[in-house]
C-alpha cells in the first residue's frame, strides 16, 4: 500500500475514458478506461512508470492490487494499465508516481480526511478536448455544448494545451533571452578586447616582424603568424571554459526541461562564434603587420 505520510508522495486523479488518447499520453501496457468501469464494476486504476518502478520493481504490475488510507483499503484498486511518465506540475522536477482512477467509480473510506478527498476527487475541474483546427473558432460552440449538459456548469477559460505550457515557461523564456543578449554583448566586448591586445602585440613586435620579412618571410606568413598568436589565446580560453560548461550542465540537469545535460550543439555553436570573432578581430592587425616595410620595421628598433 503506498505510503500516505508524505515521505513517498503519490499523485492521483480521476479521469474519464479516452483521457490518455486525448492528451496523447502513451499507454505502454494493458488498457485504457472504458464505459464498463463504472460504480458496479471492480475498482481499477492505471499507473505511470514511476509508480510501477517504485511499488512493483522487477515484476509486471498488471493485475496487482493496492490501496490508500488504511490497511482495510489496501486492495481497493487493481492495475489494468501502465502509461508513460509525464510531468503534470513542475517541469524541472522528475516525474512523481501517479495513479489514475475512473471518474465513475468511488472508494469507501473509514478515515474522515480520506472520505473528504474522495468526495472532492469527483468534482470536475478540467476537461480535455481533442480539436482538429483552430480552437478559437470553436470557443462559442464548446460553451454551448457544456451549457446544454448543465446550465450551471461554469467555464472559466478555454486554452490550448500548448498555450498553457508556453505560459508556464514565460519567465524562463525571458531569462533565456536576457542571457542570450548578455552573451552577445560579452562576445562583442571579447572581440574588442582581443582586437586591442592583438594590435598592441603587433605594435610591440614590429622589429621582430621586420626581421622575419628581411630573412624571407612573405606577407601571408606574417598574417598567419599574427593570427596564430591570437587563436592560441582563444583556444586556451576554450580549454578552460568547455570543461566548466560541462560541469555546470551536469549540476543543472534537474532544472532543465527537454534539454540534455550535455548538448553538443549548445557547446559547439558558441565556441564556433568565438573562433569566428577571433578571426574577425585579429585580421585587421594581421594585415597591418603584413603591410609593414622591412626597412621601416628595422628602423623602429
Strand 44-48 vs strand 65-66: parallel, antiparallel, or unpaired?
unpaired
Contact predicate 245/267, CB 8 Å: yes
Q: Closest by alpha carbon to 118, among 212, 265, 12, 240?
A: 12
**CA distance readout (Å), 154 to 88, 122, 143, 151:** 23, 16, 9, 8
Each of the 301 residues of the chain gets a pLDDT tens digit; together they read 454 444 457 888 999 999 998 888 899 999 999 999 998 999 999 999 999 999 999 899 999 999 887 788 888 999 999 999 988 777 767 788 999 999 999 888 888 888 888 888 888 777 777 777 666 677 778 888 888 888 877 777 777 777 777 777 777 788 878 888 888 888 888 888 888 888 887 777 777 777 777 777 788 888 888 888 888 888 888 888 888 878 877 776 666 655 666 777 777 888 888 888 888 888 888 887 777 776 665 565 5
Any idea how long the chain is? 301
The whole-number pLDDT of residue 3 equals 47
Cα-based angle 77, 15, 22 (whole degrees, multiple of 5): 130
The 3-class SS string of 236-255 reads HHHHHHHHHHHHHHHHCHHH
> Given CA atoms 217, 220, 225, 226 in this order, what sign does their dihedral have?
positive
Output the pLDDT for position 4: 44
Closest Cα partner for 229 from 261, 197, 271? Answer: 197
Concatenate the DSSP letters of all residues of 55-83 into one string.
HSTTS--TT-EE-SSSGGGTTSEEEEEEE
| The pLDDT of residue 294 | 66
- pLDDT at 121 (0 to 100): 83
Q: What is the DSSP letter of 29?
A: E
Q: What is the predicted pLDDT for the residue at 292?
A: 74
Q: Cα–Cα distance between 45 and 80 in angstroms, integer?
A: 6
Q: Do residues 111 and 70 touch, judged by C-beta distance below 8 A?
A: yes
Amino acid at each position: 500500500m503506498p505510503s500516505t505520510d508524505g515521505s513517498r508522495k503519490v499523485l492521483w486523479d480521476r479521469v474519464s475514458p479516452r483521457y490518455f488518447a486525448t492528451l496523447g499520453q502513451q499507454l505502454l501496457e494493458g488498457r485504457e478506461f472504458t464505459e464498463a468501469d463504472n460504480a458496479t464494476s471492480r475498482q481499477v486504476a492505471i499507473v505511470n512508470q514511476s509508480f510501477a518502478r517504485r511499488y512493483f520493481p522487477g515484476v509486471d504490475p498488471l493485475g496487482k492490487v493496492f490501496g490508500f488510507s488504511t490497511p482495510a483499503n489496501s486492495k481497493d484498486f487493481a492495475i489494468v494499465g501502465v502509461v508513460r511518465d509525464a510531468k503534470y506540475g513542475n517541469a524541472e522536477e522528475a516525474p512523481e508516481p501517479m495513479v489514475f482512477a475512473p471518474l465513475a467509480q468511488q472508494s469507501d473510506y473509514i478515515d474522515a480526511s480520506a472520505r473528504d478527498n474522495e468526495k472532492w476527487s469527483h468534482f470536475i475541474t478540467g476537461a480535455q478536448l481533442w480539436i482538429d483546427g483552430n480552437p478559437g473558432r470553436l470557443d462559442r460552440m464548446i460553451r454551448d455544448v457544456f451549457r446544454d449538459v448543465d446550465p450551471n456548469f461554469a467555464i472559466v477559460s478555454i486554452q490550448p494545451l500548448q498555450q498553457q505550457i508556453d505560459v508556464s515557461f514565460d519567465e524562463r523564456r525571458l531569462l533565456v533571452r536576457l542571457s542570450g543578449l548578455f552573451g552577445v554583448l560579452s562576445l562583442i566586448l571579447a572581440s574588442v578586447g582581443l582586437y586591442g591586445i592583438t594590435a598592441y602585440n603587433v605594435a610591440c613586435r614590429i622589429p621582430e616582424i621586420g626581421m622575419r620579412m628581411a630573412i624571407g618571410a612573405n606577407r601571408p606568413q606574417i598574417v598567419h603568424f599574427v593570427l596564430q598568436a591570437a587563436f592560441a589565446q582563444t583556444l586556451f580560453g576554450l580549454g578552460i571554459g568547455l570543461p566548466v560548461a560541462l560541469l555546470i550542465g551536469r549540476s543543472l540537469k534537474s532544472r532543465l526541461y527537454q534539454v540534455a545535460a550535455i548538448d553538443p550543439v549548445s557547446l559547439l555553436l558558441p565556441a564556433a562564434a568565438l573562433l569566428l570573432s577571433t578571426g574577425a578581430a585579429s585580421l585587421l592587425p594581421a594585415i597591418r603587420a603584413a603591410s609593414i616595410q622591412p626597412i621601416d620595421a628595422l628602423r623602429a628598433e
